[in-house]
Structure 1
């Protein structure tokens, strides 16, 4: 069973302008976070997690920037679990079950294939005021204590 993100002891948050360079900064930050939390470069699922994260941030930049000038990424981790949420203030909530063969949704279909292939889960959570959302990915991953 995968631990819910709100019960994980390790935390990190990052808010950036919703511009193309945010993808690189978020990916570099995720690499540092994972290293600090004990997930080495060869950890199973690490590269897939970075790809999933990059795709979600790129989607926020590409599709939500007009209504959401910032994108926020929340990282959470603990023994056996790495979770991250990508938040923007655009009210549209994407379907996470899109077919890989359909035009819009190819990136999210890849996200879902990778997530499920690793034994993880994905959910879209709307903001309380319905003005935005977060896409949360939870993956099994060995993280060690510092």
Structure 2
């Protein structure tokens, strides 16, 4: 089953598109908190705090590294009874490698994202846009 198929199968979805500015980080996190609450996912669930940190790190990376080529960033949120998924999309063509970041010398936002994601038993994947000029980093976490 692909990430897209799983996302479509999840009953709760929300999309947020914001200017690729530092204020996007706080707004993306607050939107995640609001959506999770509306969907009946407790903010006290053991995975939620780390999921919010992952969203914040991914949006921060978009602001730091993609803003020049991507005036907007889109955050996609989805959840089901046992799964939380989200993607952060920008229009910068660079697609980071997510493998090899644990136990290696990688540091910073994506290394943190991978450590938290894998620590929760989740998955991470980078999907390029069809035109090669953007990408979405998808994270799926068990609840």
TM-score, normalization: structure 2? 0.91
Q: Give secondary structure in 1 for the equivalent of 2:85.
A: strand
Aligned to 1:71: 73
Query: In the alignment, what sits opposite 2:90?
Result: 88
Identify the residue that residue 48 of structure 1 maps to in structure 2.
Answer: 50
- Deviation string for 1:68-102 (max 9, x for gaps)? 00000001111100100000000000111225663
The separation in 1 between residues aligned to 2:91 and 2:105, in whole angstroms, is 25
Paired position in structure 2 for 1:61: 63
Structure 2 counterparts to residues 8-47 of structure 1, below 5 A: 8-47=10-49
Alignment partners' CA distance in 1, 2:108 and 2:67: 20
- Aligned counterparts of 1:19 and 1:102: Cα–Cα separation in 2: 28
**Other-structure match for 1:102:** 105
> Alpha carbons of 1:31 and 1:58: their partners in 2 closer, same or farther (altered >3 Å)?
same
Length-normalised TM-score, structure 1: 0.90
Q: Of the candidates 114, 127, 134, which is equivalent to residue 132 of structure 1?
A: 134
Aligned CA-pair RMSD: 1.8
Whether contact under 8 Å (1:100, 1:110) holds in the other structure is no
1:30-79 CA-partner distances (Å, limit 9, x unpaired): 00011111111211200000000000000001000000000000011111
1:20 and 1:100 map into 2 onto residues whose CA distance is 29
Consecutive unaligned residues of structure 2, counting only runs of 5 or more, are: none
Paired residues of 2:102 and 2:115 also in contact (CA < 8 A): no
Alignment partner of 1:102: what SS?
coil
In the alignment, structure 1 segments of 5+ residues that lack a partner are 142-146
The secondary structure found in structure 2 opposite 1:4 is helix
